[in-house]
Every structure is written in structure tokens, then in C-alpha cells.
Structure 1
Amino acid sequence: MAGSVSVFPSAEELGPALARFVARQAEAAVGRFSLGLSGGSLVGLLARDLPPTAVAIDAPARWLVAFCDERLVPAEHPESTAGAYGAQLLPRLPLSGTRVLLPAPELPPAAAAAHYAELLVKAFPDDEVPAFDLLLLGVGPDGHTCSLFPGHPVLQEEEEFVAAITDSPKPPAARITFTLPVLNAARVVAFVAMGAGKAPVLKRILEGDEENPLPAARVRPRSGQLRWFLDEAAAQELTIPVKRHPLP
């Protein structure tokens, strides 16, 4: 299930389109807009394009922001997703009443995962599985998303909402991550990938063998939408139908 694939000439066009997409999802939310964020290149992209777009949101719902995975490092560490968003994006959002679910990276991995799962349960008291309005995900060259890596036992987790990882193949080794049940409970999931280095794995994910799917290909919202935002370099090997957006 590829979902809807949108291709933009470059990050300069993709970023504003993604910001508008986030704003539309926020406008459609009733009472509260729950947003899950991933790190990597998404941080800079959203920091550049989302704040000016958020200014134009009409009667915004209260925002609940969480992090789809986190490296267990101090907030000031360059690998901290929460720290990066806290420095670059969140203070610039012109929104009142925004609530941020902060991880506790000082805890041991299992305790940090349990702590974050408890925050989710309290934030989504009416959901059997926490169902975000929108999750923004990235994808690695190996097909991982969040901190769900190919062949890792956490891919089989069906009960826990947040899992601890102590052996990440990509340092730092200690992390916490949303599990597939949470990713697949979202109302909308949007993957963002840029650069020619992502082209081979995107072809595998979007056009590959379904018998042994890569982690990103296992994200299949049960009743929600799946969207892909790619630049031309990342999409260059795809043969499936895509929606191409020309330069403005």
C-alpha cells in the first residue's frame, strides 16, 4: 500500500507544501490537534517553513506535540530530537496552549519507555491505542523509521506503545520508539524523504516485495491516510504513479 505520493522539485518546494499540509490537518482537528514528530532533516525543514504557515491557521485547535522516537541523550546533545525541536521550532510556533510530551532521557531505557508510554496513555484516555491526528515520519537508507530497524525484535511488538532499544545499529544505541501499533493507529501518517541516497530504499518500500517488508513499509494505518512527500532526487527510481508538483 503505497498511499499518496507527492514529488517536489527540491526541499525548497517540499517544505512549504508540508507546512501547509500540517496546517490543514490542524484546522480540521476538533478541540485538539495531536502531532507526532520525528527528527533528522525534518527538524530544519519544519523550523523553516511551519512557523510562518501556522500564523495563518484559522482558529487553531490546541496542539499536543510528542516525539515518535528519542535518543537517550541529554536535551542539549546534538542527537536529541526533543532538544532540537525545543531549540529550533517549538518556541517559534505562534500557538497558545501547546502541550509537549517530553521524554526522560536520564532514565534507563526500559524506564524511559514506560514513562513515555504512561504520558501517552494519560494524553489519550479514550483511545485503546493512542491515535494521533498526524505523525510525521522519516525513512533511513536501510528502510528504518522512528527507531524501528530491519530485523529488530521490536518490530514484532504488539502490546506496548513505546519500546526501549539498547542496541540501535545507528548510534546512539539507547533509544525509545513508538511501536507499530501506535504508528498504525494514526489518522494520518506522512513520510518525508529527500535526496538521491533515499531513492533505492524508497523503490523497495513503495514497489518492493510484500513478503518481507522493511520497517517503513510496515506502516499501514488501519483506518487512516498514508502520504509521502518526496523530492525529485529521492523519487528518481519510482515507476508507480506519483503526483509531481512543478516549480511555482
Structure 2
Amino acid sequence: MTETERRVRVYDDKNVLANAVAARFLKRIGEILEAKSEAHIVLTGGSMGEAVLATVARAKARDKVDWSRVTFWWGDERYLPSGDPERNETQSRRALLDSLGVAPERIKAFPALGEHATIQEAADAYAAELAAAAPEGARYPHFDLTFLGVGGDGHIASLFPEHDAIRDREHVVLAETDSPKPPAERLTLTLPVLNSSERIWLVLAGSDKAGALGLALAEASPNEVPVAGIGGRARTVFFVDKDAAAEVPENLLERERYWTAAHDVRG
């Protein structure tokens, strides 16, 4: 797994969790834009991903960010028609992006069903879009921050346990055609691409995520628990509610490995 500074921050419930992550995101994006001319952010879907973005949309600090300098990507997408409510893009637009007035070319959605002849062509098209935005000689941009959700089985993006995709080190974008969760067809960034991000923030809520969190911290095999293979270049932070943290083994609750919201305000 990528060597990275890892933190776990625990919050009382889902609402407190969403508020905390949204506040940290607004602070972090401001800092990134102070240091750089533009930022590349990778978004996720799911209930917590949408809740965080919706909280950002309501925050007063939202309007202090120069969103015209931010490009949004996604870690994965359900291969469904454009506008389908189950698409991560649709959820992100509804929660935040449509209210920002961001130029269309700054929103880099995965292709939708019907836009290409095959799902493989759709994967190739997104890989080409990533390459077009990359520094010279690179295959994808420098991602400043990547958001990820985590499934109860430990999957991240559309990288599932025991699937070939989690072991792929060659491609940038893969077409998943046999997802254990519907829909069967999905598009996803590969693990090395996700791990190229400067920071990775994973947002987990609910007791059904407790096992995945515990196994990730115990450094299980990424082939069996994909989230265990995640590590950003600088930091990897697990933002969780108490229910998700409830089953983490006591031997993993050491200060070197485990922080609560009261500790270490960096993100």
C-alpha cells in the first residue's frame, strides 16, 4: 500500500460528520487555491458523498471560493443514461455543482450510456480526457483531493473484492461489467490513479461500514478489502461516525493510528 500519513476522525452522527467534512473541504480548497492556480478534485457518490456536497452548498464560506479555478472529476460512475438519479454525476450536480455556476468544461463527468458504442470505448474516452488535462508526459492530472465512499464489503470507487480491476496497475480507467452491486456496468479509475491524489478523504457512516474500517486499519489484503489499498501521497483521512467506528479493534485505537475530532485539526 502507498506510504501515507493516516488519520481517523470520529464524529457523533451523520449530520455532524457531514458538517465537519464540508467545513474542512472549504478550508482546504481555499488553501489549495492560495498555493496553486487551479485545483483538481475527485468526487464520489453515495448518501454521504451527496450529504457533504449539499452541506458545502449551504455554507456561507462557499462563496469565498473561486470555483472557476476548480476542475471536478469522479472516481467512478454507474454506466447509466445521462441525468439518471443513480449516477454520481447527477447526485453531485443536484447537491452542489449546479449552484456554483462552474463552466461546463470544468465538470469532467464519465460518459453516460449511449454516448459511445461500447462501455470500453467510454472508458477509453475518459482516459483520453484525463490525459488531455495532465501535465506533459503524464496520463492524468495531479489530483489535489479525492473523496471516496466505502462499501460494506470494503469496495472503493467500483473496485470490488476479488475482481481483476483491484489488481490492475496498467490502465487509468476500467470498464467493470460484472459489478456485484447494481448496475452491473460501471466505469472506474484504477487504484494507482486514485492513490496519486495528494490527499484522500474517505467518508463512512453506519454500523455496516465498521467491518470494512477495521480491516482497512488492520492492513488487510487489498484484493480482499480494496479500501485497505488506499493511500494518498500526503495524507489519508477516514472521516467516520461513531457507528462506523464501533467495531474497530482496541489494538488499533492507538494514538499513532487513531484520532478523534478533538485532535489534530489538519486535513
TM-score (norm 2): 0.84
User: 2:14 aligns to what?
Assistant: 11
Instruction: Kindly state the Cα deviation for residue 58 of structure 1 after the two structures are TM-superposed.
Output: 5.3
In structure 2, the residue corresponding to 1:243 is in which secondary structure? Answer: coil
Change (3 A) 1:77 1:14: same
Aligned match for 2:108, one of 101, 109, 113: 101
User: 1:124 aligns to what?
Assistant: 134
Q: Distance in 2 between matches of 1:98 and 1:110?
A: 23
Which segment drifts farther, 121-130 or 229-238? 121-130
**For residue 122 of structure 1, what is the amino acid of its counterpart?**
A
Cα deviation, 1:129-178, whole Å, max 9, x if unaligned, reads: 53210000010011100000001111121121111111111110111101
8 Å Cα contact 2:222-2:228 kept in structure 1 = no
Cα deviation, 1:62-95, whole Å, max 9, x if unaligned, reads: 1100111011101232321112222232112366
Change (3 A) 1:159 1:188: same
1:158 matches 2:169? yes
8 Å Cα contact 2:10-2:259 kept in structure 1 = yes
Correspondences of 1:62-211 after superposition (within 5 Å) = 62-93=69-100, 99-105=106-112, 106=114, 107=116, 108-126=118-136, 128-130=138-140, 131-210=142-221
Cα deviation, 1:86-134, whole Å, max 9, x if unaligned, reads: 2232112366787100222222211111111111111123462532100
Which segment drifts farther, 16-25 or 139-148? 16-25
Instruction: Kindly state the Cα deviation for residue 244 of structure 1 after the two structures are TM-superposed.
Output: 2.2
Cα deviation, 1:20-63, whole Å, max 9, x if unaligned, reads: 22112211221111110111113431233112334253556711
Q: Distance in 2 between matches of 1:2 and 1:197?
A: 25
User: 2:236 aligns to what?
Assistant: 226
User: 2:259 aligns to what?
Assistant: 243
User: 1:22 aligns to what?
Assistant: 25
Aligned residues: 245
User: 2:54 aligns to what?
Assistant: 48
Which segment drifts farther, 3-12 or 212-221? 212-221
Q: Distance in 1 between matches of 2:260 and 2:191?
A: 29
Instruction: Kindly state the Cα deviation for residue 243 of structure 1 after the two structures are TM-superposed.
Output: 2.4
8 Å Cα contact 2:176-2:187 kept in structure 1 = yes
Which segment drifts farther, 67-76 or 96-105? 96-105
In structure 2, the residue corresponding to 1:245 is in which secondary structure? Answer: coil
Cα deviation, 1:200-233, whole Å, max 9, x if unaligned, reads: 2211111254586511111123x32111100000
TM-score (norm 1): 0.90
Q: Distance in 2 between matches of 1:202 and 1:75?
A: 32
**For residue 110 of structure 2, what is the amino acid of its counterpart?**
P
**For residue 101 of structure 1, what is the amino acid of its counterpart?**
K
Q: Distance in 1 between matches of 2:211 and 2:222?
A: 18
Q: Distance in 1 between matches of 2:165 and 2:222?
A: 18
In structure 2, the residue corresponding to 1:55 is in which secondary structure? Answer: helix
In structure 1, the residue corresponding to 2:171 is in which secondary structure? Answer: coil
Q: Distance in 2 between matches of 1:83 and 1:56?
A: 22
Change (3 A) 1:96 1:116: closer
Q: Distance in 2 between matches of 1:85 and 1:59?
A: 18
Change (3 A) 1:34 1:159: same
- Report the aligned-residue RMSD: 2.2
Unmatched 5+ residue regions in structure 2? 263-267
8 Å Cα contact 2:76-2:157 kept in structure 1 = yes
Change (3 A) 1:62 1:178: same
